């Protein structure tokens, strides 16, 4: 797929496709699974407006489709009506389509040449135990082809909304005030080294995984080759895409706990491993050898989410900022502490996670995991 697809006219203040600015990321998870509106998330990401440049913004929402919670929700952007007709023929041959509709938007004059945006609630035509793999295979075929279509969200009870513009303008365009979810993540700006286009905005998603990222994955080439050996296809001309696919591979397919997967992506240095006890040293040596090509080099801070779970992670020497905050009801993750405090003045604890140490919150879990040694026993 062409990197200029759905590109439109760029609207950043500098008149350039590539502006080296600091991205903004934000996430909020209600630990009881209680849905809440977009207000806090939009307010927080707009408070970090100066970290953006208008080349892109986006949101991921969990728990927003209660009437379709058992169906895969496919959000698709089209280059033309012809592309839509061709893609819908492909979908009809591959899925039972329960319902489809145009994604509601409003013309606010502040986003850039939007594509045709449609969503489909579908059931795969295969055995339930193969559903996830089937959806990944079909979405990969669509996004790797020349149909003029791009699937930018494909999870159950999950929706990604993104495009070219500032994050708060994208929220207004998609009418996000009409949705509620128990988990929201947000991103402002665009991939540092790639042109601005609708499909390239954050979050990046596969099934119910979503990733928002501040920084740069300099190991992209190595990571991409490893993931493609497992059938993934990196077609978006951006480094962040490998993070979403790596998590899907490690957690869904290889059954690693999320905290272990985080240590694959951002592991201890060999000099640190050499100082560990025998069992811990053996564990980290193994994951660094088995998954050497999934180590993510370069400066990054990411917020990753899936149904019922949100986590924050930085590179090993913390070259990009990430702040965590908690109350008895919620976990907040943000590029800046100020964004947390402006939407939650009553926050009970705020801290900066150590480089490479994940902060993990889960629905139904009263405490947030952070700054601890990863469990060495991997579940069967």
Q: What is the pLDDT of residues 217-265, one digit of tens each?
A: 999 999 999 999 999 998 776 788 899 999 999 999 999 999 999 999 9
Residue 183 DSSP SS3: strand
pLDDT in tens, 341-366: 999 999 999 999 999 999 999 999 97
Q: What pTM was estimated for this model as a whole?
A: 0.92
Asked if the structure places residue 187 within a domain, the reply is: yes
Asked if the structure places residue 316 within a domain, the reply is: yes
Using the predicted structure, report yes or no on whether residue 29 has a pLDDT greater than 90: yes
Residue 92 is predicted with a pLDDT of 97
Query: Which is higher by pLDDT, 94 or 52?
Result: 94
Residue 377 is predicted with a pLDDT of 42
Using the predicted structure, report yes or no on whether residue 156 has a pLDDT greater than 50: yes
Output DSSP code: residue 369: B
Other CB atoms within 10 A of residue 182 CB: 23
Using the predicted structure, report yes or no on whether residue 372 has a pLDDT greater than 90: no
pLDDT band at 52 (very low <50, low <70, confident <90, very high): confident
Asked if the structure places residue 19 within a domain, the reply is: no
Asked if the structure places residue 369 within a domain, the reply is: no
Residues with active-site annotation: 23
pLDDT band at 17 (very low <50, low <70, confident <90, very high): low
Domain count, the chain: 1
Asked if the structure places residue 278 within a domain, the reply is: yes
Q: How far lies 86's CA from each of 89, 101, 145, 147, in Å? A: 5, 16, 12, 7
The edge-to-edge listing of strands for the beta sheet with 300-306 is 204-206, 209-215, 300-306, 309-314, 359-362
Residue 274 is predicted with a pLDDT of 96
Mean pLDDT (whole number) for 71-78: 98
Using the predicted structure, report yes or no on whether residue 151 has a pLDDT greater than 90: yes
Using the predicted structure, report yes or no on whether residue 26 has a pLDDT greater than 80: yes
Tokens matching residue 79: 């280059």
Asked if the structure places residue 112 within a domain, the reply is: yes
Asked if the structure places residue 275 within a domain, the reply is: yes
Give the structural domain span for 34.
Answer: 24-362
Q: CATH code at 195?
A: 3.60.20.10
Using the predicted structure, report yes or no on whether residue 6 has a pLDDT greater than 90: no
What is the rounded CA–CA span in Å between residue 356 and residue 259?
10
Asked if the structure places residue 153 within a domain, the reply is: yes
Q: Which uninterrupted H or E stretch holds 160?
A: strand 158-163
């Amino acid at each position: 797929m062409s990197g200029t697809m759905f590109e439109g006219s760029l609207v950043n203040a500098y008149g350039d496709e590539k502006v080296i600015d600091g991205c903004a990321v934000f996430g909020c998870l209600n630990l009881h699974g209680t849905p809440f509106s977009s207000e806090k998330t939009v307010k927080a990401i707009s408070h970090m407006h100066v970290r953006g440049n208008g080349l892109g913004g986006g949101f991921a929402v969990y728990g927003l489709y209660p009437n379709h919670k058992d169906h895969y929700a496919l959000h698709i952007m089209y280059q033309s009506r012809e592309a839509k007709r061709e893609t819908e023929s492909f979908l009809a041959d591959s899925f039972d389509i329960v319902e489809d509709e145009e994604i509601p938007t409003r013309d606010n004059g502040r986003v850039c040449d939007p594509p045709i945006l449609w969503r489909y609630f579908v059931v795969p035509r295969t055995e339930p135990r193969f559903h996830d793999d089937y959806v990944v295979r079909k979405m990969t075929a669509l996004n790797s082809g020349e149909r003029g279509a791009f699937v930018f969200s494909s999870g159950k009870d999950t929706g990604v909304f993104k495009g070219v513009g500032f994050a708060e303008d994208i929220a207004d365009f998609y009418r996000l005030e009409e949705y509620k979810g128990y988990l929201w993540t947000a991103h402002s700006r665009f991939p540092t080294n790639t042109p601005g286009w609708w499909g390239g905005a954050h979050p990046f998603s596969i099934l119910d995984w979503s990733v928002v990222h501040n920084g740069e994955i300099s190991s992209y080439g190595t990571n991409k080759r490893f993931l493609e050996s497992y059938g993934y296809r990196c077609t978006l001309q951006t480094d962040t895409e490998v993070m979403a696919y790596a998590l899907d591979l490690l957690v869904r397919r290889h059954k690693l706990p999320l905290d272990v997967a985080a240590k694959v992506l951002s592991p201890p240095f060999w000099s640190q491993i050499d100082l560990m006890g025998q069992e811990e040293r053996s564990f980290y040596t193994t994951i660094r050898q088995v998954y050497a090509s999934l180590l993510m080099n370069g400066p990054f801070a990411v917020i990753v989410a899936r149904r019922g779970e949100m986590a924050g992670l930085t590179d090993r020497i913390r070259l990009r900022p990430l702040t965590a905050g908690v109350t008895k009801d919620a976990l907040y993750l943000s590029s800046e502490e100020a964004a947390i405090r402006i939407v939650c003045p009553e926050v009970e604890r705020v801290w900066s996670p150590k480089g490479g140490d994940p902060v993990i919150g889960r629905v139904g879990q009263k405490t947030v995991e952070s700054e601890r040694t990863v469990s060495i026993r991997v579940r069967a």
